[in-house]
Structure 1
Amino acid sequence: MRLQEQLFEQRETAILTAASRLFREQPWDRVTIAEVANAAGIGKGTVYKHFASKEALYARLALDLSHANLAELRALHATHPPQQALRLVLRRAFEQMLADPIQAQLCQHCDRPEFQERLDDSYRQQFLQLEHQFQLFFGQMLNDTLEGHSLNQAECQNLLWGVEACFNGVMARIASGGFSHWAESIALDEYFHRVTDFIIAGLNAQAAAVLAQPDRHE
């Protein structure tokens, strides 16, 4: 790699690191490009050479976090028996959100249609590819638990909708600060346990119903 390319990557890393730190210190949606540039020790114009807008910076942070999380979940799935792996992956996915709630909020923000419409096509394509990777991983993980049976891509996608709804609910709960303000407070660890049980029960029941359909292969 040429020196110029190395310097470019180093500046980009400095920008992302500075932005992540600032987002934890103050409301992330109020942080300006000028503040990111100052924290990174570079000029504002240099930031725009790497990221054309604040939306592009948000997108890159969300994509980087999601790819890192997916890699961790894949490794977890690969090193455990299927039934155990499904439970461990679901729990770990919740823990990933809890470990970095600001980034989780940012990912949720980047998933909004109006945000996606403002992005350059290259970023939109990256989000579509990421979604496809998560779908493939989910389908593989689900089929591994069915003991010799398998669902096609469309059937897995239908089941994924319910899982996604649960994950969005967990993300919103984490963003709101948990249950500390409830009359009967629930520890987040217990909450994760209950939601995981709910998802697995729903997946098993719905998968069994799909596999039992007499006209499934017509």
Structure 2
Amino acid sequence: MRLQDRLFLQRESALLDAARLLFRQQPWDRVTIAEVATQAGIGKGTVYKHFPSKEALFARLTLDMSHANLAELRALHAAQPPQQAMRQVIRRAFEQMLADPILTQLCQHCDRPAFQERLEAPYREQFLQLERDYVDFFGQLLHDTFDDRALSPGDCQYLLWGVEACVNGVMARIASGGFEHWAEPTALSDYFDRVTDFIIAGLRGQAANLCAPSASRE
């Protein structure tokens, strides 16, 4: 790799690290490009050579986190017995979100259609590819878990909707600070266990219905 290319990547990494640090010190939506540049020790004008807008910076952070999380979940899936993989993957996905609640909030923000419509075309395509990667991974999990049932791609998409709704609920709960403000606080670890049980039970029931001779989604 050329020296110029290495320096470019080093600056980009410094900017991403600076943004992550600032997001932990103040609300991420109030952080400016100028503040990121100052924190990284890089001129503000140079930032735009890496990220044409603040939305692009948000997108890159979200994409990096999502790709890293997906790689970890794939490795976990490969290391688990097929019938145990789904539970372990769902539970680990919740722990990933809890490990970085600030970026979890940012991921929710970047998932909004209005946000992605403002992005440059390459970033929009990366989000579309990321979605396809997660759908493919989820389909593999379903086929491993319910290998005795012939689930079609449409069936997998249908089941994914329910899982997505539950995962989004967990993301919102983490972003809101958990249950500490409730009259009877609940440990997030217990909450994760119960939601995981709920998802698995729902998947089993719906998969059985879909594969029944008279299956109907009405």
Shorter-chain TM band: over 0.9
- 1:112 match: 112
CA–CA separation in structure 2 for the residues paired with 1:83 and 1:183: 37
Kindly tell me: are residues 215 and 26 of structure 1, through their superposed partners in 2, closer, same or farther at Cα, counting changes over 3 Å? closer
Residue 183, structure 1, aligned to residue 198, structure 2:
no
Counterpart CA distance in 2 for 1:163 and 1:190 is: 18
Q: Is the 8 A contact 2:58 2:106 kept in 1?
A: yes
1:150-198 CA-to-partner distances (Å, cap 9, x unmatched) read 3121110111001000001000000111111111111000000000000
Partner of 2:94: 94
Q: Percent identity?
A: 72
Write the mapping of 1:1-218 to structure 2, written as runs, cut at 5 A.
1-214=1-214
Q: Which amino acid aligns with 2:10?
A: Q
**Counterpart amino acid of residue 17 in structure 2:** T
Distance, in Å, in 2 between the alignment partners of 1:39 and 1:62 is 20
- In 2: Cα distance, 1:154 partner to 1:131 partner: 16
8 Å Cα contact 2:209-2:215 kept in structure 1: no
Which letter does structure 1 place at the counterpart of 2:96? Q
Count of matched residue pairs: 216
State the alpha-carbon separation in 2 of the partners of residues 48 and 17 from structure 1.
16
3-state DSSP class of the match of 2:24? Answer: helix
CA distance in 2, matches of 1:215, 1:92: 32
SS of the residue aligned with 2:149? coil
Q: RMSD of the TM alignment (CA)?
A: 1.1
- The TM-score, its normalising length taken from structure 2, stands at 0.97
Deviations 1:35-71 (A, max 9, x none): 0000000100000000000000000000000000000
Whole-angstrom distance in 2 between the partners of 1:206 and 1:39: 50
Q: Secondary structure at the match of 1:25?
A: coil
Q: Which range moves more in the overlay, 145-154 or 84-93? A: 145-154
| Unmatched tracts of structure 1, length 5 or more | none
Structure 1 runs (4+) deviating above 2 angstroms are 147-150, 213-216
Whether the 8 Å contact between 2:82 and 2:144 is mirrored in structure 1 is yes
Amino acid at match of 2:87: R
Deviation at 1:82, TM superposition (A): 1.5
Runs of at least 5 residues in structure 2 that lack an aligned partner in the other structure: none
Cα 1:17–1:203 change in 2 (3 A) is same
TM-score when normalising by structure 1: 0.97
TM superposition shift of 1:215: 7.5
**Partners in 2 of 1:208 and 1:184 — Cα distance?**
36
